[in-house]
A and B are shown apart, each in its own frame.
Chain A
Amino acid sequence: MKRLALLLPLIALPCLAQNTQQWVLDSSTLTYHVTHAVHEAEGTTHSALGKGVCTAGQCDFLVAAQVKSFDSGDSNRDLHMLQIVRGAQFPIVSVRLRLPQSALGQPTLDADMDVTFAGQTAHYSHIALQQVVQNNEHRISGTLPTTLTDFKIDPPSFLAMPLHNEMPVRFELYWHPAN
């Protein structure tokens, strides 16, 4: 009885520790797409950082990147983008999403996301994400239907025609569970 009582805490501690699972973002590709009447452009970053924590059946993820890390292949356009989105004032774009832990093995996920960008936070509900699990790696991809007005960004114009309001962001995130 005495031994059992002494062993019980040792058994209980690992059980408690197993309730939390952490996820680490290995690599990522985030690409915004903007359209003008006579022009289209894309900017990509591969330097996003991310982390996930699952507790009590819920998983919370945070992915963030420096706004200036988006590269469209034209430094002039990138600097102009940085000015338009107030990238020096609000240097980080971040995405928070919450998923039920039970869904982490599913090929399709339905997520609610909060995007903080240019000093504004916009909420996106029921974003469809695709997931491919290979070995220990989870590849999650999808498209965020962001718009310029979501973040109160004045659309820049070229030849007196403003940029289209739609600014979808495609993403590919490669996660692995941390041990």
Chain B
Amino acid sequence: MNTKSSHDLIRPILAATLILLLLPHPAFAQQLAELNLPDAPQPQQSTAAPPPASAPAAPPAAPAQSLSLSDLGFSSAQQQSDAARQALLDKRSHMLKIHQRLGLLTTIPMAATLLSSAAAPCEHNCNGNSAGMDFHAALGTVTVGMYAATAYFAIRAPEVPGDKPRGAIRIHRYLAPVHMTGMVLTPILGAMAFNQQNNGQKVTGIASAHGAVATTTFVAYAASIVAVSWPIHYKFWEKSN
């Protein structure tokens, strides 16, 4: 009687043990569910929809057996798509691309203005042949106009919140007040010098600094371009081989 009853007790325990061995333990299953093992890699390129701004922390659409970004510790805020920020970045990049192109193009009339300055001064007064001076003034006007347009796109480009300037862009920004001041002063000093010459006077005083200010402006402007282009790795030695 006792033997039979103990056998009756042992059988279900053995059966339960076998089930335990064959099936994952609930705690283990829960651990697996929490870990979300991934599917096999997809052997193709696929497009993902941006995570919605109001998405919950854990992406429920992911397969149950897949490690998720939440498992790694990324918060929902870190995973969220930010359409407004993307639009801001798009606008900023668009405006700065125009700034870059206009800025590079501005170097052409700026350099030409400097070169044409050799023919600008009048010998005695400018009531006679003033072609050299006119050409120089025209180039200078074009330069100022293009420079103003270039500056507009840099100033009006939206700032990205939380961005702290690092690297070469800081030099580019530090040089801006230098060449901007120069671009304002140079035509004013040029007009003063022209008036003094036109009145038969020798160019004196602050007007005599026109050339030096113009040269300083050009150097500062060129340096600000180089600053954001550096380091340039032009492997000319490879081209010659």
Whether, in the assembled complex, B24 has its beta carbon less than 8 Å from a beta carbon of chain A, the answer is yes
In the bound complex, do residue B74 and residue A73 qualify as a contact, i.e. CB atoms below 8 Å apart?
no
Determine the chain A residues whose CB is within 8 A of the CB of B4 once the complex forms.
none
With A9-B16, A90-B48, A91-B82 as known contacts, state yes or no: A76 contacts B167, CB within 8 Å: yes
CA distance A91 to B52 in the complex (A): 12
In the bound complex, do residue B163 and residue A79 qualify as a contact, i.e. CB atoms below 8 Å apart?
yes
In the bound complex, do residue B167 and residue A73 qualify as a contact, i.e. CB atoms below 8 Å apart?
yes
In the bound complex, do residue A74 and residue B168 qualify as a contact, i.e. CB atoms below 8 Å apart?
yes
Q: Contact residue range for chain A?
A: 35 or more
Query: In the complex, what residue of chain B is closest to A77 when comparing beta carbons?
Result: B167
In the bound complex, do residue B67 and residue A60 qualify as a contact, i.e. CB atoms below 8 Å apart?
yes
Query: In the complex, what residue of chain B is closest to A79 when comparing beta carbons?
Result: B160
Whether, in the assembled complex, A82 has its beta carbon less than 8 Å from a beta carbon of chain B, the answer is yes
Query: In the complex, what residue of chain A is closest to B73 when comparing beta carbons?
Result: A49
* A66 to B: closest C-beta gap in Å: 6
Determine the chain B residues whose CB is within 8 A of the CB of A2 once the complex forms.
6, 9-10
Whether, in the assembled complex, A150 has its beta carbon less than 8 Å from a beta carbon of chain B, the answer is yes
In the bound complex, do residue B28 and residue A16 qualify as a contact, i.e. CB atoms below 8 Å apart?
yes
CA distance A64 to B225 in the complex (A): 36
Q: Is the interface of A mostly helix, strand, loop or mixed?
A: mixed
Determine the chain B residues whose CB is within 8 A of the CB of A66 once the complex forms.
74, 78
Whether, in the assembled complex, B50 has its beta carbon less than 8 Å from a beta carbon of chain A, the answer is yes
Q: What does the 1/0 interface line of A27-70 toward B look like (CB < 8 Å)?
A: 00000000001111000000001110101000011101010000
* B183 to A: closest C-beta gap in Å: 22
Q: What does the 1/0 interface line of B61-80 toward A look like (CB < 8 Å)?
A: 00000011101111000111
Whether, in the assembled complex, B128 has its beta carbon less than 8 Å from a beta carbon of chain A, the answer is no
Which residue numbers of A lie inside 8 Å of B, CB to CB? 1-2, 5-6, 8-9, 12-13, 16-17, 20, 22, 37-40, 49-51, 53, 55, 60-62, 64, 66, 72-77, 79-80, 82-84, 86-92, 94, 96-98, 112-114, 116, 119-123, 125, 150, 152, 158-159
Which residue numbers of B lie inside 8 Å of A, CB to CB? 6, 9-10, 13-14, 16-17, 20-21, 24-25, 28, 31-32, 35, 37-38, 40-51, 67-69, 71-74, 78-83, 85-86, 88-90, 92-93, 96, 100, 104, 160, 163-169, 172, 228-229, 231-234
Instruction: Pick the 6 closest A-B CB pairs, nearest first.
Output: A74-B167, A88-B85, A83-B89, A88-B86, A76-B169, A62-B67
